Structure 1
Amino acid sequence: MQDWQQHFIRVGAGGSDDYRQAMATCTEQITALFEAAQAPYSGIDPLALRAAIARQPLSQESVVPLAAAIEEAGTLIGRNSILVQHPHCIAHLHTPPMIAGMVADRFMSAQNQSLDSWDQSGAATYVEQHVIDWMCELFGYAGSGDGVFTSGGTQGNIMALLIARDWAAHRISGHDVQRDGLPPYFSKLRIVGSAKSHFTLRKAAALMGLGQQAMVTVPSHPDGTMVVEALEPTLAGLRQAGLIPFAVVGTAGTTDHGAVDDLRSIAAIAQQHQAWFHVDAAYGGALMLSRARHRLAGIEQADSVIVDFHKLWFQPISCGAILLKDRGHFRHLLHRAEYLNRESDELPNLVDKSISATRRFDALKVWMTLRAVGAATIGAMVDHLLEQTQAVAGLVRDRPALRLLARPSLSTILFRYVGVPQADALDDFNRRLRVGLLKAGVAVLGETMVDGQVALKLTILNPCLSMGDFEQLLDKITDFAARLPPAQQPA
């Protein structure tokens, strides 16, 4: 028998020696990576980077010692990856994770539990349920609600709308979608949200067999919030056309504007039309911990809510949750598998509530962070970011070469560079500016469209940054823009 033991942790004395040495080497590489980092990206040409990675053979004959592979991961991959901890990496809803969450990740990877059944997890099942119960209390679902961890907002939105569809079919006609498939009237089913709702709602409609046309949008205000006055006529018009608006979606933190819809008013209209009310709080759910929690008034009336902990809760990717106001609705996801969710042993099997079977113990990240950092501290970080975002917007507003495109709502700033002689070239210039900054390793900015214009985006999710960091960033953007050559004209 070959000696494979060096590749695994074994139980008993000395069984983790190889693991201990590997983790020490890994820690050294990661420490060196962050302490030497001068930019959010190394600046290596993307094509050169791809070629360098492709040159590393993956054949059995090319196997190297683990220590060498760890060093390669640090020098080739780590140093040429995007560093979200750098002050000038500020493009996406992609937070620098807190140390408590990273420590939890170490436990999770080493023990490798799966949360589908109790006999694969033990304590992990109870930890997840404990965190979910705490979340239900936080969001006003105590007593009746329940939830389960997800990989993030995409999975959460799909699960919420899947449950809403099956709930609606049962309410309308007693139809059992799990057993009998889509009801005869499936082509009439509609999901209603704002024009700024997340794209995963349309994706969910497609995956559920309803087609993207099932997603109907109502207008949004310039600040990104739903025009609630248009919701009632939209729902009424759909019904008059013989269609069935079965779900209404409010957003607590749109991706671009960070806009928070008037959830209380939307809840009342959804209830009037007997529609499922879902809230996408992937971005803004952490407001519940902050002084700004009043902005989520009405979220407790939602039938379902999703939250991403890897956003304003500062957790490593991936980490999210879906909560239901009525735990009984999880029955729409229940499937029996004799080897997983037997009832004879009277142990909880969380596979009953998820569309996933194998599932990571992501709840440990939240549990350890709440234990070691505390909800109040997280809320204070959110409050700080909200205030700092307004101050940074003032810096942008004060620079003649930059134009602020919207008043920030949460922690995103939408702007563009306007110091270009040719007004008709602004869109192209801003696109080239973002890509140029990225490839040069100067800054990682976001890009989107606002009112038909190309916009640059700062997504402020690092509570450790100072106003000086943002002054330096804006200096770098304007200096780089001043040196950016004009676009090459076609021959």
Structure 2
Amino acid sequence: MHCPPLAVAVAADLAVSALNPSQDSWDQAPAATALETLLLKELARLVGYDAELAAGVLTSGGTESNLMGLMLARDRVLGAVTGRPVELEGLPGTGPGAFPRPRILASASAHFSVQRAAALLGLGEDAVLAVPVDRQLRMKTDALAAALTDCADRGELPIAVVATAGTTDTGAVDPLRACASLAAEHGAWLHVDAAYGGGALLSDRLAPLLDGLALADSVSLDWHKLGWQPAAAGVFLVRRSETYASLARRAVYLNPADDEEAGYPSLLGLSLRTTRRADAFKIAVTLRTLGRAGLGRLVDACHDLAVAGARTVRNHPRLELHAEPVLTAFLFRYLPADATNADPTDVDAINASLRRRLLREGRAVVGRTELPGEGPGRVRLKLTLLNPHTTPAQVDRLLHTVVAAGLAEEAQ
């Protein structure tokens, strides 16, 4: 899911590497500090936030951004319950003063970093409840409502709902408005993982898919996906800057209070990291060069490729499409000669082995995943199309190469 970066972004990134500023204090990166602040205001507006009320920071990617969103969710919700800053000693099962068990609700197709974040935050991976998804891998609204109600019935505390705008496998977008409404009803923080799907905001055609994004308490975006930036180019945003309070830090040798009061601001309290590259520069240069419209055309071109590739799959007798593409990715599988009577385990094995054949022979890199659920028959191949210069004919040839590899595996 990493794109071929634009030449202008690579040039800007090279300049940053040569200058090597670190954004842990104003005096080490004055221009970069000002630039990141201005860029984040623009990105907040793109999301639909009030730029004067929002806050954010550049991150290493969706994993870090998701961790930050869930950390702030934990601190806000649990802090409100206890009336004091969060202390791990107060977590469930640790003695007197423990409060209801915290829960995080995310779809069964959410990124694995949600569980990892829960573990890092001291909540445990099992604090995350997987909400069922529909065939297109979108979170089911009725299932989310039921899960939140069940939490209340068990005396548990839902601290966050994680909605996904662009799942890793299919680019599916959860029903954001419904998720926001349900999270608010139960007093939970809404974090939207838009690391992949955030690029849809650049496209007039696809932006409506993210309706309701502005209702989220926090959002993660990755411009090294549908933004054509060299990694890393992650973005973390919160709707209201005061919710950032628990991350604030003061180091007398980096951001003394009197310096900030005198007009020398620091970004130290906005990030989990201390040393941090000026990654805002390449994004700002790209936006200045291409603008939203120019980047939107690249998004649309990749969407067109996915639509064309899905059409080829749909029309080929030996390929099966899982669902129509939402963004720029789609799932499919190769079907053996007698697919109707084939053992699902054998079908899975053929798809797995044909992918390895393509890798072994150096012919193609095709993704692999599994649909949610249990039992055989869930293995799928995946194309994530992020190069706007690729042609439909090239995608068509790739899919026929997959078929040829499948036939070769069957012949063994």
Aligned residue in 2 for 1:263: 176
Aligned residue among 154, 170, 173 for 2:63: 154
- Deviation string, structure 1 residues 122-149 (Cα, Å, up to 9, x no partner): 1011111111010111112222101100
SS of equivalent residue, structure 2 residue 304: helix
Q: Which portions of structure 1, spanning 4 or more consecutive aligned residues, are displaced by more than 3 angstroms?
A: 178-187, 484-487
Partners in 1 of 2:329 and 2:88 — Cα distance?
44
Alignment of 1:45-64 (within 5 A): none
Identical columns (%):
43
What is the aligned partner in structure 2 of residue 470 from structure 1? 395
The residue number in structure 2 matching 1:319 is 233
Q: Which amino acid aligns with 1:119?
A: D
Report the 3-state secondary structure (helix = DSSP H, G, I; strand = E; otherwise coil) of the residue aligned with 1:164: helix
Structure 2 residue matching 1:113: 3-state secondary structure: coil
State which structure, 1 or 2, has the greater radius of gyration over its C-alpha atoms: 1
Q: 292, 301, 310: which is aligned to 1:393?
A: 310
How many Å apart are 1:367 and its aligned residue?
0.6
Rounded Cα–Cα distance in structure 2 between residues aligned with 1:460 and 1:286: 13
Which residue, 4, 10, 15 being the options, matches 1:107?
Answer: 15
Which of the residues 41, 63, 68 maps onto 1:133?
41
Partner of 2:223: 309
- The answer on whether the counterparts of 1:279 and 1:299 sit within 8 Å (CA) in structure 2 is yes
Which ranges in structure 2 are unaligned for 5 or more consecutive residues?
none
Query: Structure 1 residues 179, 212: closer, same or farther in 2, change over 3 A?
Result: closer
Contact 1:400 1:419 in 2 (8 A): no
Provide the C-alpha distance between the structure 2 equivalents of 1:235 and 1:466, rounded to a whole number of angstroms.
Answer: 45
* 1:238-277 alignment, distance < 5 Å: 238-277=151-190
Question: Is the Cα contact below 8 Å between 2:352 and 2:368 reproduced in 1?
Answer: yes
Q: In the alignment, which residue of structure 2 is the partner of 1:429?
A: 350
- Tell me by how many angstroms 1:486 deviates: 5.8
The equivalent residue for 1:234 is 147
Residues 285-329 of structure 1: per-residue CA shift (max 9 Å, x gap):
111121221111111111000000100011111110100001111
Structure 1 partner of 2:361: 440
Contact 1:401 1:419 in 2 (8 A): yes
One-letter amino acid matched to 2:132: P
Distance 1:179 1:417 in 2: 49
AA matched with 1:356: R
The match for 1:122 among 30, 50, 57 is 30
Is the 2:305–2:395 Cα contact (8 Å) retained in structure 1?
no
Aligned twin of 1:69: none
Look up the match of 1:72.
Answer: none
Structure-to-structure mapping, 1:43-442, within 5 angstroms: 93-142=1-50, 143-177=52-86, 182=91, 184-185=97-98, 188-291=101-204, 292-346=206-260, 347-420=264-337, 423-424=342-343, 425-442=346-363
Deviation at 1:169, TM superposition (A): 1.6
Contact 2:40–2:55 (8 Å) recurs in 1: yes
Question: 1:388 deviation in Å?
Answer: 2.6
CA distance in 1, matches of 2:222, 2:380: 25
Structure 2 letter corresponding to 1:163: L
Instruction: Tell me the SS of whatever aligns to 1:340.
Output: coil
Aligned-pair CA distance for 1:482: 2.4
Change (3 A) 1:302 1:409: same
Partner residue in 1 for 2:381: 456
Question: Which amino acid letter does the alignment assign opposite residue 172 of structure 2?
Answer: A
Cα distance change on mapping 1:421 and 1:144 into 2, 3 Å: same
* Aligned AA (2:119): A
- What code does the residue aligned with 1:450 have? L
1:422-452 C-alpha deviation (Å, 9 max, x unpaired): 8221111111111111121100010001255
How far off is 1:164 after superposition? 0.7
Q: CA–CA distance in 2 between the matches of 1:404 and 1:232?
A: 30
User: CA separation in 2, counterparts of 1:181 and 1:337?
Assistant: 27
Tell me the secondary structure at the aligned position of residue 145 of structure 2: helix
Instruction: Answer yes or no: is the 8 Å Cα contact 1:405–1:415 preserved in 2.
Output: yes
- Give the whole-Å Cα distance in 2 for the aligned partners of 1:112 and 1:166: 33
CA distance in 2, matches of 1:147, 1:177: 22
Amino acid at match of 1:367: A
Q: Which amino acid aligns with 1:144?
A: L
- Report the number of matched residues: 395
Query: C-alpha distance in 2, partners of 1:114/1:146?
Result: 20
- The alpha carbon displacement at 1:420 in A equals 4.7
1:366 offset after TM fit, Å?
A: 0.4
Q: Residue 433 of structure 1 contacts residue 484 of structure 1 at CA under 8 Å; is this kept in 2?
A: yes
Moved more, 294-303 or 339-348: 339-348
Check whether the contact 1:420–1:426 (CA below 8 A) recurs between aligned residues: no
Deviation by residue 1:362-384 (Cα, 9 ceiling, x = unmatched)? 11110110111211111121122
Please state how far the C-alpha of 1:419 moved relative to its aligned partner: 2.8
Contact 1:187 1:210 in 2 (8 A): no
